[in-house]
Structure 1
Amino acid sequence: MADRRGSGLLIVRAWLEPGTDRPVRVRITQVVDSGEVQVATASSVEGLTAATAAWLEELMT
């Protein structure tokens, strides 16, 4: 396995919005070793899963 010294931070904030078509809202704040901050949003478990996977892939490259 390659020697990786990078680190990152993933913050997930989720809340419910009852009465809407997609009652869950998620704000995803991603920080990688370079200090770059990216903010994304999702309205499903699948969206959160995809954002998390993308963040991990970026961290590992």
Structure 2
Amino acid sequence: MNLYCGRDEQGRPCGSVAVCLPGEVLRRIGLHPDQPSSRIVGPSPPAWWHAAGERYARLRP
């Protein structure tokens, strides 16, 4: 597991965590890349939807 803590451009605290799991663990819950359920099966949301999500993420403290 990797942990990053720091401050963003406005000086607010921010952080992220990266967790690495063996493929077999992901397979049991249907998230392994070799399983059909882990693939995208529909169209991607429109660009405005992604942009709105990014704006919302930046507003949260």
TM-score (norm 2): 0.34
Bigger RCO of structures 1 and 2 (CA < 8 A, at least 6 apart): 1
* Larger radius of gyration between Structure 1 and Structure 2: 2
Would you tell me which structure has more strand in proportion to its own residues? Answer: 1
